[in-house]
Each structure stands twice: as C-alpha cells, then as structure tokens.
C-alpha cells in the first residue's frame, strides 16, 4: 500500500476560481450529466456548464446558498444529501461530485456507496490532514489545523490521503485517478506515490469507479 503509485495524474487546469474545481472539471466528461453534492455557492456548477458543457445540478443543505444558486439560474435542490441521495434512481448521472463536502457527512462511506449507485463515476476532493505542516502544528500546538484555504468548511472527519484511499477501498470503489495538490495547483513536491502525497500534498482529488 505504501508504494501504490498515483494513477494517471491530471494536467494543470488553465484557469479556475478554486484549484480543486479546475481539476474536477478536467475529470468530468464533455456534456456529462453531473451532480454536485454540497454545491455551496454554485461556482463548480457554473464552471462545469461553461467549460465542459455539462448538464450539472446540485444538492445543498444550506437554504440561503441553495436559493442564491436558483436565483442565478442554476439547478439546485435544497435538501440533506445524506437522505436525498437514496431517492435518485440507479445510473441517474454520469458523475457524482463531492467537492470539499464529503468530510462533513455523518456517514461518508454510505454516501460514497450511494453516489456509486447513482453515478458511473464519483469525484471527491479532500483536505489532507497528514500534510507535514499539519503534523508539525499538531506536534507543537497540540491541535490539528484545518487544511489551507478551508475556512468555513465543516469537517466531521479529518482524513489523510491514505485514509481516504482506504475508505474508498472499504466502500468497494476503485481509484481511477488521484491528483495531489498544493497551493491550489495539481502536483505536490515529491508526491509521486501515495505515501509521499500523504506527506506533501495539501489536498487531493480522487476519481473513483465501482
């Protein structure tokens, strides 16, 4: 496990409002039917429609954010995704996306299984709690910091890159691609294998299939 090579890292996006959004867009097929779970302000939905011509819709728990998305013409449902995912029929989407949202789910493994049921592929971006700066902060301060740029994102779970790879495997999903990221860009120093990404990537984007 410690020597598992990252699979097919994706190239750097030309431009994107947020680093993981650009990587996610490169993983979504042209014209795909996509569901953004925990879509927030709808920035990723807009990017997917613009750059990938995706038929993108979202689910958002926060009522104000969901209403703001609808006011902008985005197809967003205000609902608790942990409940609502089970209502979608199998194979309803080409891609189901958790962009910095899965770590706020009470039962993330169950959510992954539902996502794999309703989508042909699942994309997840996570913060890496095992980054070397986080380890140093924990050692010197005694508390685990949030990943860089993650202010305002609820985290019920803190995962390392290796933790999430294990979670995906336990959910019976295969890692098709894994893109380590630092400073909002794909690639991280020395992150050519899973254990190195575990130390040097600030976050990671995973493309999963069942």
pLDDT along the chain (210 residues), means of 10: 49 63 95 97 96 96 94 95 95 97 94 98 93 74 66 72 94 93 80 79 93
User: Any idea where the domains of the chain sit in the sequence?
Assistant: 19-209
**pLDDT score recorded for residue 168:** 96
Angle at 186 between CA 59 and CA 100, to 5 degrees: 25
Q: Would you tell me the crossing angle of helices 43-52 and 19-27 to the nearest 10 degrees?
A: 40
Topology (CATH level 3) of domain 19-209: Rossmann fold (3.40.50)
pTM metric for this prediction:
0.87
Can you give the pLDDT at residue 1? 37
- Angle 108-118/161-170 helices, nearest 10 degrees? 60
């Amino acid at each position: 496990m410690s020597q598992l090579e990252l699979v097919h890292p994706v190239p750097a996006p030309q431009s994107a409002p947020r680093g993981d959004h650009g990587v996610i867009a490169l993983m979504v097929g042209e014209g795909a039917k996509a569901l953004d779970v925990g879509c927030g302000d709808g920035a990723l939905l807009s990017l997917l429609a613009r750059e990938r011509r995706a038929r993108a819709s979202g689910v958002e728990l926060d009522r104000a954010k969901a209403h703001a998305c609808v006011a902008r013409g985005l197809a967003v449902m205000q609902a608790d995704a942990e409940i609502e995912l089970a209502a979608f029929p199998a194979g309803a989407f080409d891609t189901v996306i958790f962009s910095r949202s899965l770590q706020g789910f009470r039962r993330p493994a169950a959510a992954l299984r539902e996502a794999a049921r309703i989508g042909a592929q699942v994309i997840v971006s996570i913060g890496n709690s095992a980054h070397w700066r986080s380890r140093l902060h924990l050692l010197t301060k005694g508390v685990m910091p949030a990943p860089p740029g993650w202010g305002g994102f609820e985290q019920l779970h803190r995962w390392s890159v290796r933790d999430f790879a294990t979670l995906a495997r336990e959910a019976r999903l295969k890692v098709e691609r894994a893109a380590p990221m630092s400073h909002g860009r794909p690639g991280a120093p020395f992150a050519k294998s899973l254990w190195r990404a575990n130390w040097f990537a600030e976050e990671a984007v995973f493309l999963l299939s069942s």
